[in-house]
Structures are given as structure tokens and as C-alpha cells.
Amino acid sequence: EKERLVITMYYYEGLTLKEIGLVMNLSESRISQLHTKAIMRMRGKLSKYKMKASL
């Protein structure tokens, strides 16, 4: 849930990682970790769909 919130605030609301950290009461470093984890998770899911589509 935190990952989803970070992605929403970053890409849809245009907040910086620092601003998101202030809103969520977490460090900018922790927000960066959550952002990276969310992106990697999405990439993994997209690559699975891409592999299925190419079959």
C-alpha cells in the first residue's frame, strides 16, 4: 500500500520524494526505496505480460 501511495503522489500529483517523505512521515531515502521497489515490481509484472503476448 505504501508503494502504491508513493507512485500515486510522485507520478500523478507531481510531488518530489522529499515532499512525499514529509507527507508520509518517512525519510527521503525510505521513500526512494519504496519507489524503486514499486517500479521493479511493475517491471516484473509487465515483463510477464510481454512474454505471454509474444507466445
The type of residue at 32 is S
Confidence category of residue 55, pLDDT binned at 50, 70, 90: low
Residue pair 9/15 in contact by the 8 Å Cβ criterion: yes
The type of residue at 49 is Y
pLDDT, position 31: 99
Spatial separation of the C-alpha atoms in residues 49 and 44, rounded to whole Å: 9
Domains observed in the chain: 2-54 (1.20.140.160)
pLDDT, position 51: 76
C-alpha torsion angle, residues 27, 31, 33, 38 (rounded to 10): 160
Give the tens place of pLDDT for each residue, 3-45: 999 999 999 999 999 999 999 999 999 999 999 999 999 999 9
